[in-house]
Structure formats: C-alpha cells, structure tokens
Amino acid sequence: MTAIVSGSASQALSAALASELDCPLAAVEYDRFPDGELLAAVPGFDADRAVVVASTTSHAAHLELLLLQDALHEAGAEEVVTVLPYMGYARQDRAFESGQPISSRAVARAISTGADRVLTVSPHEEGVCEFFEPTAEVVDAAPVLADPLPDDLADPVFLAPDEGAVGIAETVRDTYGSGEIDHFDKHRLSGDSVEITPSDADVAGRDVVVADDIIATGSTMSEAVEVLHDREVARVFATCVHPLLAGNAYTKLAASGVEAIYGTDTIEGPATAASVAPVLAEHLSAD
C-alpha cells in the first residue's frame, strides 16, 4: 500500500494527490523540544511505500523533509519516494564566484540520503536533477497552466519574458488550443531588477498571456506587463508554475496592471489557481 505524507508547505497538493491516486494521507504530527528544535513524526504509519510531498520553500521546510524521510524509514517504509513540487535552492546551480557552494547540489545530496526516488516539478534548470542520487525525475507542469485561463482570450499572444521560457509559453498555447508565440529578451541588472527588450510583435488590442517558470521578486513579470501596456494590449495575464512571490512581488505585479496572476500549487498561496496533482499522479502511476 502507498500512503501520501505531506510536508507542511504542501498540504492542499498532498490531499489532491491522495485523491488522484486513491490512497490514504498519513498522519503527520509536529512538536518542539524546549530548545526550539523540531520533531516531525508519522505516528501509526504502516504503508510499504511512502510518497512524501514537500515543497522546500524555507529552511524549516528543508529540515522538516529530512526528518519526515527519516521517520518513514524508522516506521518501516520499504520505499520512500520524495516529491519536491518546488525545490528550494535549485537556482543556485553553480558557484557564481570563487568560494561559493553549489547550493542545489548540497541540498540534493542531503535529500537523496533519505529517498529511494525523487521527483521534481518543472525545475528552472534540469541539470540540478543530476545532483540527486539516483537522478531526480522531472514532471512538466506547464500543461496545467492553461486551466485557469478564460476561454474567451482575444486573438491571444503567449509570451515568454525571455528566450528560456519559450517552451513553457508554447506548451500553454498548445494546451489552450490557439494563439501566437512570441518572446522578449531580458537582461538581469540585479537580484530584483531586470531590463526587458520587447519584440516588435503587434500586441495592440490583443490579450497577452506572459508565461514563465517562476515569479520570484516579480521584477521580470512586472517589467513585461508594463512594456505590454505601453503597447496598448487588451488584457495581460501572468502565469507561472512556481508562484513564489517573494516580498512585495504580488502587490508589485498587481500595481503593474495585470488582469490576473495564476500559478500552481507547487507553492500554495494567493496565486494558486491550478493543481499539479494530475500530472504527478500520471507520472507516479506510470511505474
């Protein structure tokens, strides 16, 4: 029997996945030691196979995942599958300056020690999967980004804010059914500021869906939205797999005049509008 074990940042997704796979959700209990250290336990766990679903959106979530994996092995699980809907530190995939760590490799190694198998959803660079042992499997969530879009988009353009996101824009367009593909070019000036070079596509009076893998500080998306409004678009929808929305990203985007901000439940929050549970269930059922 398989049971789904939820990390605290992935509860709605875990419940949806349990429903898709028709398997139980295991009980997870938390406690704190007097010194503040966490205890994450799976009392009464008795399945052979555990699927732990945990977005590692914070240091606490990383640690909680390691504790849950260990608790499951202690409880006798024969196989512990770890699903990282959102993998924290995945964008630090190289040492950018001498003396820096390859942070994604460090966390992948730690997570691998407690996992027989790892799945991760739409990572920014698939190369990070090789830091896991065995190599992590990629589940592409881009098709579900079409789910929340209105079905009356006017002569739509599916736009990637940079060339790297064109594949996502194409998948969303293909799933939606029709529309033009275009992309801007982006130059990152700092961690929270970017410069966008628009294309010469005629977007006036048309609805535009800007699709990306992640909205972090919101700088990329809000710059793209402002450029589009300068070109007199009709409506702009911002969509991404991982709505991280750090700091003031949500309000920054709302202020830029976006019609709606859509993301998936890899990060549960104010922009969650689509679930990756069906694509995860399909991947897990294909074994």
Nearer to ligand R5P, 82 or 266 (CB): 266
Taking the C-alpha atoms of residue 261 and residue 268, their distance in angstroms, rounded to an integer, is 13
> Roughly what angle, to the nearest 10 degrees, separates helices 277-285 and 11-21?
50
Q: What is the 3-state secondary structure (H, E, C) of 27-91?
A: CCEEEECCCCCEEEECCCCCCCEEEEECCCCCHHHHHHHHHHHHHHHHCCCCEEEEEECCCCCCC
The least distance separating ligand R5P from the CB of residue 245, rounded to whole angstroms, comes to 8
Q: Does 219 bind ligand R5P (CB under 6 A)?
A: yes
Q: Which is nearer to ligand R5P, 93 or 213 (by Cβ)?
A: 213
Supply the minimum distance, in Å, between the C-beta of residue 160 and ligand R5P: 9
Query: Residue 143, class by beta-carbon neighbours within 10 Å (0-12 exposed, 13-18 middle, 19+ buried)?
Result: middle
**Beta-carbon neighbour count of residue 286 at 10 Å?**
6
218 binds ligand R5P (CB under 6 A): yes
Q: Is 215 in the site for ligand R5P (CB under 6 A)?
A: yes
User: Is residue 198 exposed (0-12), middle (13-18) or buried (19+ Cβ within 10 Å)?
Assistant: middle
Where do we find the tokens 């799933």?
Answer: 175
CA 237, distance to chain mean position in Å, is 18
Tell me if 122 contacts ligand R5P by CB under 6 A.
no
Candidates 20, 93, 207, 212; binder of ligand R5P (CB under 6 A) is 212
283 labelled binding-site residue: no
Candidate segments 16-24, 70-78, 79-87, 216-224, binder of ligand R5P by CB under 6 A: 216-224
Sheet of 79-84, strand order: 2-6, 49-53, 79-84, 117-121, 137-139
- Please, which residue, 146 or 221, has the CB nearer to ligand R5P? 221
- 108 within 8 A of 136, measured Cβ to Cβ: yes
For residue 150, how many C-alpha atoms fall within 13 Å in the half-sphere facing its CB? 14
Q: Is 62 within any annotated ligand binding site? A: no
Q: With binding defined as CB under 6 A, does residue 271 bind ligand R5P?
A: no
Q: Is residue 81 part of the contact set for ligand R5P (CB under 6 A)?
A: no
* 196 forms part of the interface with ligand R5P (CB under 6 A): no
Contact between residue 243 and residue 234 where contact means Cβ atoms under 8 Å apart: no
Cα distance between residue 148 and residue 260, in whole Å: 10
- In the region spanning residues 165 to 184, those forming contacts with ligand R5P, defined by CB under 6 A, are 165
Give the residue numbers marked as catalytic: 186
**Closer residue to ligand R5P in complex, CB, 88/218:** 218
216 touching ligand R5P, by CB under 6 A: yes
For residue 104, state whether it binds ligand R5P (rule: CB under 6 A). no
In the range 144-163, which residues lie near ligand R5P by CB under 6 A?
161-162
Of 18-26, 172-180, 217-225, 275-283: span binding ligand R5P (CB under 6 A): 217-225
Residue choice 164, 167, 257, 278 for contact with ligand R5P (CB under 6 A): 164
Binding site members for ATP:
35-37, 91-92
Binding site for ligand R5P (CB under 6 A): 124, 161-162, 164-165, 194, 212-221
